Amino acid sequence: MTSRNSPRNHPQAAPQRSAPEQAGPEIVGSWQRCIEDYQLDPGRNLRAPRLSDSEVREARSLQDSLLHSAEPVFERLRYLGGNSGYCVLVTDASGIVLREYIDSNRGQELAEKGLSLGTVWTENLVGTNGLGTCLATGEALTVYAGEHFGRELQRFSCSTAPLIAPDGNIIGALDISTYAQGDKIGQGLALNLVCDTADQIEASMFRYAFARHQVLALVSSPLADASQSNALLAVNDSGWILGATSAALMQLGVPERCLIVGQGLAALTGATLDEVQRAPWSLQPGGSNSCWLMRLAGETRRAPVSVAPAVSGTTPRANLDSPLYQAAGTDPSLQRNADICHRVLNRDICILLQGETGTGKEVWARAIHASSMRHDKPFVTLNCAAIPESLIESELFGYSAGTFTGGLKGGKVGKIEASNGGTLFLDEIGDMPLMLQARLLRVLAEREITPLGQIKPVAVDLHVICATHRDLIEAVSLGEFREDLYYRISGVRIGLPALRDRQDRQALIEKVFSQLRESESIQIDEPALQVLGAYHWPGNIRQLRNALQFALCMCDGRALRITDLPDEVFPQAPGEPGMGSASLTDAAISSQNGPSTGQLPPDRLMSLGTAVLGNESVASAEQDERARILATLRQHRWVVLRAAQALGISRSTLHRKIKKYGLSEA
């Protein structure tokens, strides 16, 4: 297990053929590896090699996709590095420095020693050093003065902690370096600082990764601010533990993540998820070391935002008429999503759209494409769940002539090649077969494809947007989705809210209605709009469009009324979800029919109003309804249209009632 230990306090010792006499075991082990495994000579100048700018950009792009949720922490590091005399470095798991925050007065000298962007600090290249030894051991540590293997670094003290992803893997290291002064004991503050900062970064990534689940915090007091805790657990709605931060494992005294991931929360803590959500739960009642478990106040189920810099230097809101802002409407969370997408437009960053079925993921993907510099190039879509597994490979990569019996004579261009220069939209990426996931990962890394039946690769200029309704983090933990592909495609994650959660729900209903109606003279009356706004819409925007299309077909006048709406937007039985408000029903009836018309209320509203009554009351209401319908039909000589108008219901509803009650003209 990766952990961050407190420093071991040892006095400075001069370089020699073995580690300094009083060095800790992590330093001794590192020196042994350098001499025996890497065949390095201690005390020599071992300068860190430097990658090219293009290699640094590629590595930085991948790491930014992992760390972008922790940008506020990095801003504090920028202040620390620029004002305290420290040199702050961040590497990836390969030891490549991808971020640096350096005091301007000392920056030039430190850079000359190799503490700069693009340098590689693995033990096999540079010997014992803070970054390389931390990555090799997975432990937080300080390498002080003569403990460094190479002569170039023996003037420095380097305190380093690993950066740990939500799944427990090390994805990099955070280092604070300065000139060695005094003794190693004095570097305890630097090590504590780097460990605490690494915990904050881990917690930021963890909250982002599990934003669609319940995130619980371990705190020392029931009055503590849970948002400041780095000790976090992720739990699904069924109460199963999905993940834990390193700080949480340490506080719980659990040595490995695998010992609690997959366990029930109640088995670990004695509390159910509902109990923790209601009130803080004491894990050590009466004990000396107080520890409480509580939910993060104000947590939402959408992904946090990225703060990547804008491309042009102008504010991302400069073009409010762009397709992205048109798609966002007036909902604040979608407007923020539009801000994020505008900031990463035209950059080589994959975008992952997540949301329930019907939330408009393809609409959003098209808006991203239309707002980018690729807008005049192809937008190619592929639904990974709609194509048989035996065909999806040829759909993606294409095939040359003669590859398949029954294939096209001249071969076929695949979706990836067809999107060259434009955008490839992979819908339901979570359903892509594992074998193809590996091939897609390679395409994204190398920017070239090899069609089936062909040897020579084809270069492609590719921008990929993926979408899914699945929880890919959970799919990764179940072995159903490749972890490396997940981190490749989720450079920026955009969570699309369900229709029931949108603050602009009523405006969106009116917008969709205006798109579907054939004439501007047709309007939705207020009672119908209230019913539509109160419905929970499990099928989201797709279901809304279907419901409005049905209602427009049923509408006989210039106003779409409650009676034109489909039955699905009304509860039909006790306990069925819907408006669930008798007061709203009464108001709608009063508004629709007036208080003294003498007409029978629309049938759906009757069922809504009686849904909370007992069986006897429901039976009595149905008998009254049957009698009134039959009387009205006879009054209008069984002309269904006139009878329906008199009853205030649609013809289709009246036909259903005639069938339900077994009415006949005879």
Q: Could you give the number of structural domains in the chain?
A: 4
Q: What torsion, rounded to 10 degrees, do the Cα atoms 498, 500, 504, 509 define?
A: 100
- Residues 490 and 504 placed together within one structural domain of the fold: no
User: Is residue 14 assigned to a domain?
Assistant: no
Spell out the residues 6+ positions from residue 335 whose beta carbon is closer than 8 angstroms to its own.
325, 328, 329
- Residues 594 and 562 placed together within one structural domain of the fold: yes
- Final residue in a domain of this structure, among 433, 463, 497: 497
- Final residue in a domain of this structure, among 201, 227, 244: 201
CATH number of the domain within which 54 lies = 3.30.450.40
- Final residue in a domain of this structure, among 480, 497, 514: 497
Spell out the residues 6+ positions from residue 492 whose beta carbon is closer than 8 angstroms to its own.
65, 68, 306, 308, 340, 341, 344, 349, 350, 351, 352
363: Cα separation from own chain's centroid: 18
Which pLDDT belongs to residue 26?
Answer: 92
User: Is residue 321 assigned to a domain?
Assistant: yes
- Residues 456 and 595 placed together within one structural domain of the fold: no
Which pLDDT belongs to residue 594?
Answer: 43
**Which DSSP symbol is given to 50?**
B
User: Is residue 117 assigned to a domain?
Assistant: yes
- Residues 421 and 538 placed together within one structural domain of the fold: no
> How does residue 666 score in pLDDT terms, banded at 50, 70 and 90?
low
Share above pLDDT 70 across residues of the chain, in percent, rounded to a whole number: 80
Q: Residue 475 has which token pair? A: 């799919």
Contact 574, 611 (CB under 8 A): yes
3-state secondary structure of 503: coil
Which pLDDT belongs to residue 302?
Answer: 38
User: Is residue 475 assigned to a domain?
Assistant: yes
Residue with structure tokens 């819907």? 578
Alpha-carbon gap, residue 547 to 540, rounded angstroms: 11
CATH number of the domain within which 614 lies = 1.10.8.60
Nearest residue to 393 via CA among 416, 376, 377: 416
Alpha-carbon gap, residue 446 to 94, rounded angstroms: 19
Of these ranges, 110-124, 307-321, 574-588, the one predicted with the greatest mean pLDDT is 110-124
User: Is residue 288 assigned to a domain?
Assistant: yes
Burial class (CB in 10 A: 0-12, 13-18, 19+), 478: exposed
- Residues 225 and 131 placed together within one structural domain of the fold: no
Which pLDDT belongs to residue 362?
Answer: 92
- Residues 347 and 465 placed together within one structural domain of the fold: yes
Nearest residue to 30 via CA among 171, 134, 174, 164: 134
- Per-residue pLDDT for 462 more than 50? yes
Rg (the chain; Cα; Å): 32
Model confidence pLDDT, tens digit, residues 206-260 = 988 888 789 999 998 888 888 889 999 999 888 889 899 999 999 998 988 888 8
Query: Which tops the pLDDT comparison, 588 or 638?
Result: 638
Provide the residue count of the chain.
666
User: Is residue 18 assigned to a domain?
Assistant: no
- Residues 276 and 327 placed together within one structural domain of the fold: no
- Residues 173 and 41 placed together within one structural domain of the fold: yes
**Which DSSP symbol is given to 34?**
I
User: Is residue 310 assigned to a domain?
Assistant: no
Residue with structure tokens 């460990």? 195
Q: Bridge partners of 382?
A: 426
> How does residue 544 score in pLDDT terms, banded at 50, 70 and 90?
very high
Give residue 512's identity as a one-letter amino acid code: V
* DSSP string computed for 58-120: HHHHHHHHHHGGGHHHHHHHHHHHHHSS-EEEEEETT-BEEEEEE-HHHHHHHHHTT-STTBB
> How does residue 562 score in pLDDT terms, banded at 50, 70 and 90?
confident
Burial class (CB in 10 A: 0-12, 13-18, 19+), 397: buried
Contact 40, 46 (CB under 8 A): yes
Spell out the residues 6+ positions from residue 469 whose beta carbon is closer than 8 angstroms to its own.
354, 355, 356, 357, 428, 430
Q: Strand locations in 489-592, DSSP E?
A: 492-495, 523-524, 559-560
- Residues 184 and 272 placed together within one structural domain of the fold: no
645-650 contacts, C-beta under 8 A, 24 or more apart: 646/599, 647/599, 647/600, 647/602, 647/603, 648/563, 648/592, 648/593, 648/599, 648/600, 648/601, 648/602, 649/563, 649/602, 649/603, 650/554, 650/556, 650/563, 650/564
- φ/ψ of 96, rounded to 5, equals -85, 125
Q: Render the burial of 435-454: b for 16+ CB within 10 Å, e for the rest.
A: ebbebbbebeeeeebbbbbb
Q: Bridge partners of 90?
A: 99, 174
Alpha-carbon gap, residue 19 to 12, rounded angstroms: 11
> How does residue 294 score in pLDDT terms, banded at 50, 70 and 90?
very high
Q: What is the 3-state secondary structure (H, E, C) of 129-196?
A: CHHHHHHHHCECEEEEHHHCCCHHHCCEEEEEEEEECCCCCEEEEEEEEEECCCCHHHHHHHHHHHHH
Which pLDDT belongs to residue 112?
Answer: 67
- Per-residue pLDDT for 596 more than 50? no
- Residues 195 and 215 placed together within one structural domain of the fold: no
* DSSP string computed for 302-328: SPPPP-PPPSSSS-GGG-TTSHHHHHH
CATH number of the domain within which 373 lies = 3.40.50.300
- Residues 366 and 352 placed together within one structural domain of the fold: yes
Of 400-404, 421-425, 579-583, which range is least confident? 579-583
Residue with structure tokens 């890497």? 38
Q: How far is CA 652 from CA 544, 555, 564, 571, 645, in A?
A: 20, 11, 9, 18, 12
Model confidence pLDDT, tens digit, residues 351-363 = 999 999 899 999 9
3-state secondary structure of 656: helix
Domain limits for position 575: 500-661
Q: Render the burial of 76-112: b for 16+ CB within 10 Å, e for the rest.
A: ebeebbbeeebbbbbbbbebbbbbbbbbeebbeebee
Model confidence pLDDT, tens digit, residues 369-398 = 999 888 889 999 988 887 777 777 788 888
> How does residue 587 score in pLDDT terms, banded at 50, 70 and 90?
very low
Contact 128, 27 (CB under 8 A): yes
Alpha-carbon gap, residue 516 to 547, rounded angstroms: 11
User: Is residue 287 assigned to a domain?
Assistant: yes
Model confidence pLDDT, tens digit, residues 437-461 = 888 888 888 888 888 877 778 888 8
Across the chain, what does the average pLDDT equal? 79
To 5 degrees, how large is the angle CA 492–CA 496–CA 501? 145
To 5 degrees, how large is the angle CA 512–CA 517–CA 522? 110
- Residues 611 and 488 placed together within one structural domain of the fold: no
- Per-residue pLDDT for 188 more than 60? yes
- φ/ψ of 418, rounded to 5, equals -65, -25
Computed from CA positions of residues 197, 203, 206, 208, in that sequence, does the dihedral angle turn out positive or negative?
negative
